[in-house]
């Protein structure tokens, strides 16, 4: 077992991490972000930026075109024509600006965070070992393989592995978590991140990344969205949206000849207005904001996704490989029950068990005291002078000698031999009890007082509260959970049953894990897993979603496609939910955008032709007051709906763990039917307002 101190610190970090992290980040909107976004939305009007978004690029071209016609015809048109044209032009520009604003706000939160991180990246001095000398080198001049000495109070100059020493490190600069963590050479907790501060002791770090390519640099690029590339699904959706835009361009362009044939040629401004209303501007405007916000939601939970692809894959995951220790159970075994021998009172056993553990600072020891207090009415008191007998690998027992009594607890064989050596005998009932506990996946600790065996402490792996419910949710979403453990199959089966996982892999070696991943993948499943050790690296790389613990080795962090800064493996479940939520938000807003068009048609088409075919007033089912107000209302609605949906795009559509069928029903009802109805109401309302304002 690893030194208990390390475990404790990281455990504290796990418990405090997520909630603190979320609280610290800003709300959806704050003044600084909005101010910055307003400026950015104008800067983003540059055609080079717009060209990456075909839908909004068309809107921008339309805005330019209508502006040209507005200016050209301003002198020759009637005032009501001009008011109408000006209205359309202004609102078309707003449509583009709103889209840019959505993206800028989404980026804003990341940028604010990147600024904070940049401060951390300030130039530091590294003390590099060269032979027997230590020379000062600027951190930006470090080479791969340089050995740096870092002592308490100094910033670690670059990413690396500790090759010598042990130290407490403050990683709050990147994790937002103030509790220090322990890093030491060798093992799975050897990696340190540049920009974090050593609080105690002295370590020697071997630099593993070049300046400019460090974890911190990558993190800044990620949260800022600088290296953001479109994800596969985003590209596919872009193709669909571009396709719809082209189809509607056919529709609108061909409408002019039809209008001429029908004796009602249309102005360019009206045709552009129709085009912009038809093409999927709502989702086109919000698509990139949705993607950025999705990544940001992960960052808020202190998870860094190295690519958007991984976030999308998280939504598709159908098999979760979960390490037992730390994910499903608390890392340590805990006392569950005291089983007394015949003729021994419960409280006598409890008292002895507690006494033997008062000085035992291991988690097991503390859990025994806790159990005795909470369930057996014992009161811990100060122990007067007593001789502590520490645990050793030879005796496999610990305990104390006090007031003439010798109390011991330990492995069954050891304690029995000790009792017999004292001249006592172990009762026949002992063996079956010990065996039963072992079979059930627990660890029996036998307690003896001198020559008497008092009873057995049942230590067991305690499943984290709430985890079983999570697995039920996972199952509803169609995700199979597999527990990975080094335990023997018996123990593993018991814990698996208690936690409610679908399957388990016992006595797992890294090779077994790898084989399991490959088997699942060849069956068409997408696999997610967490890992921290160097021997996890191949499996992390093979998995579709590999979440490396920040406390883990560099190799693991390189291999995975996500890093959890809190090193909390349970977060894998959150990651899956965030991935799903991202896709759901895209799909829902696409549906909303498409169903919106029906109302817009009913607003605009009668307005265009009611002059030549008065009978078309029949399909003006919203009874919009005039052709101009009808078209302008549709354009205004089309622009305002973008703003109205920005919060939803950033927050994500509400996610509920349920089967696909019920999720589909629900979202179709809200975003399909809602998308059909809302514009009828919205356009009518806007029409009433602008008519009252005097648009004719």
- Within 8 A by CB and 6+ apart from 424, the residues are 448, 450, 451, 452, 453
- Within 8 A by CB and 6+ apart from 615, the residues are none
Closer to other proteins by CB, 206 or 600: give it: 600
DSSP 8-state secondary structure symbol assigned to residue 141: G
Rounded Cα gap, residues 470 and 369, in angstroms: 30
Closer to other proteins by CB, 366 or 525: give it: 525
Rounded Cα gap, residues 580 and 585, in angstroms: 9
Tell me the C-alpha to C-alpha distance, in Å, between residue 145 and each of 129, 191, 209, 340, 683: 11, 14, 9, 58, 65
Rounded Cα gap, residues 178 and 575, in angstroms: 23
CB of 483 to other proteins, least distance (A): 18
* Structure-token pair, residue 673: 């039917």
Burial of 135 (0-12, 13-18, 19+ CB in 10 A): exposed
Closer to other proteins by CB, 246 or 693: give it: 246
Residue 578 C-alpha from the chain's centroid: 6
Q: What is the CA radius of gyration of the chain?
A: 33
CB of 489 to other proteins, least distance (A): 26
Query: Given phi > 0 = left and psi -120 to 50 = alpha, else beta, which region is 133?
Result: beta
CB of 561 to other proteins, least distance (A): 16
**Pairing assessment for the beta strands 545-549 and 562-564 based on DSSP bridges:** parallel
Instruction: Exactly one of 296, 323, 487, 566 is catalytic; name it.
Output: 323
Residue 323 falls in the annotated catalytic set: yes
Closer to other proteins by CB, 553 or 585: give it: 585
Rounded Cα gap, residues 100 and 38, in angstroms: 9
DSSP 194-238: TT-EE-SSEEEEEE-S-TTSSHHHHHHHHHHTTT----HHHHHHH
DSSP 8-state secondary structure symbol assigned to residue 560: S
Closer to other proteins by CB, 318 or 561: give it: 318
CB of 265 to other proteins, least distance (A): 10
**Pairing assessment for the beta strands 160-170 and 202-207 based on DSSP bridges:** antiparallel
CB of 538 to other proteins, least distance (A): 21
CB of 301 to other proteins, least distance (A): 17
Closer to other proteins by CB, 236 or 380: give it: 236
CB of 531 to other proteins, least distance (A): 24
Closer to other proteins by CB, 55 or 104: give it: 55
Residues with catalytic roles: 323
């Amino acid at each position: 077992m690893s030194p208990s101190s390390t475990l404790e610190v990281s455990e504290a970090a796990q418990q405090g991490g997520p909630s603190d992290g979320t609280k610290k980040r800003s709300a959806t909107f704050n003044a600084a972000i909005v101010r910055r976004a307003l400026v950015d939305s104008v800067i983003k009007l540059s055609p080079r930026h717009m060209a990456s978004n075909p839908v909004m690029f068309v809107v921008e071209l339309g805005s330019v075109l209508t502006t040209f016609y507005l200016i050209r015809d301003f002198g020759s048109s009637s005032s009501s024509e001009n008011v109408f044209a000006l209205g359309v032009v202004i609102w078309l520009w707003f449509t583009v600006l709103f889209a840019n604003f959505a993206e800028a706000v989404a980026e804003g939160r990341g940028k604010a965070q990147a600024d904070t991180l940049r401060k951390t990246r300030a130039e530091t001095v590294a003390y590099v070992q060269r032979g027997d000398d230590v020379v000062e080198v600027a951190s930006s001049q470090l080479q791969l393989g340089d050995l740096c000495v870092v002592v308490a109070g100094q910033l670690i100059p670059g990413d690396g592995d500790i090759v010598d020493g042990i130290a407490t490190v403050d990683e709050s600069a990147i994790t937002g978590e103030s509790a220090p963590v322990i890093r030491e050479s060798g093992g799975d907790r050897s990696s340190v991140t540049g920009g974090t501060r050593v609080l105690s002791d002295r370590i020697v770090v071997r630099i593993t990344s070049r300046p400019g390519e460090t974890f911190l640099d990558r993190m800044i690029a990620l949260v800022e969205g600088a290296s953001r590339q479109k994800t596969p699904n985003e590209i596919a959706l872009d193709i669909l949206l571009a396709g719809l835009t082209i189809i509607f361009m056919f529709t609108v362009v061909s409408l002019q000849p039809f209008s001429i044939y029908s004796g009602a040629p249309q102005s360019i401004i009206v045709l552009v207005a129709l085009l912009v209303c038809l093409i999927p501007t709502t989702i086109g405007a919000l698509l990139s904001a949705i993607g950025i916000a999705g990544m940001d939601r992960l960052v808020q939970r202190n998870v860094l996704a190295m690519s958007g692809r991984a976030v999308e894959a998280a939504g598709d995951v159908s098999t979760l490989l979960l390490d037992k220790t730390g994910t499903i159970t608390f890392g340590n075994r805990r006392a569950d029950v005291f089983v007394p021998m015949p003729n021994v009172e419960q409280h006598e056993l409890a008292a002895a068990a507690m006494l033997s553990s008062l000085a035992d600072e291991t988690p097991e020891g503390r859990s025994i005291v806790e159990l005795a207090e909470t369930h057996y009415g014992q009161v811990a008191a100060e122990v007067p002078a007593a001789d502590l007998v520490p645990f050793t690998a030879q005796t496999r027992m610990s305990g104390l000698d006090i007031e003439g009594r010798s109390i011991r607890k330990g492995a069954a064989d050891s304690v029995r031999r000790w009792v017999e050596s004292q001249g006592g005998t172990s009762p026949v009932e002992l063996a079956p009890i010990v065996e039963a506990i072992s079979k059930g996946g627990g660890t029996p600790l036998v307690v003896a007082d001198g020559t008497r065996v008092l009873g057995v402490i049942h230590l067991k792996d305690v499943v984290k509260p709430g985890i079983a419910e999570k697995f039920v949710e996972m199952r509803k979403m169609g995700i199979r959970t597999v527990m990975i453990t080094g335990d023997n199959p018996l123990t593993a089966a018991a814990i698996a049953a208690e936690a409610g996982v679908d399957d388990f892999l016992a006595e797992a070696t890294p090779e077994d894990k790898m084989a399991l991943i490959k088997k699942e993948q060849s069956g068409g499943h997408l696999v997610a897993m967490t890992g921290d050790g160097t021997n996890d690296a191949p499996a992390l790389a093979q998995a579709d979603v590999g979440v490396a613990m920040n406390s883990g080795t560099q190799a693991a962090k390189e291999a995975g496609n996500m890093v959890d800064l809190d090193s909390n493996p349970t977060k894998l479940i959150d990651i899956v939910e965030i991935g799903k939520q991202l896709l759901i938000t895209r799909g829902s807003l696409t549906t909303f955008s498409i169903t919106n068009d029906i109302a817009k048609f009913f607003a605009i088409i009668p307005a265009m032709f009611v002059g030549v075919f008065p009978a078309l007033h029949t399909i003006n089912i919203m009874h919009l007051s005039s052709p101009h107000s009808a078209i302008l209302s549709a354009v205004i609605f089309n622009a305002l709906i973008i703003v109205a949906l920005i919060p939803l795009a950033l927050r994500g559509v509400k996610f509920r763990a349920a089967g696909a069928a019920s999720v589909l029903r629900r979202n179709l009802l809200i975003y399909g039917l809602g998308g059909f109805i809302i514009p009828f109401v919205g356009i009518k309302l806007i029409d009433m307002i602008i008519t009252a304002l005097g648009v004719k």
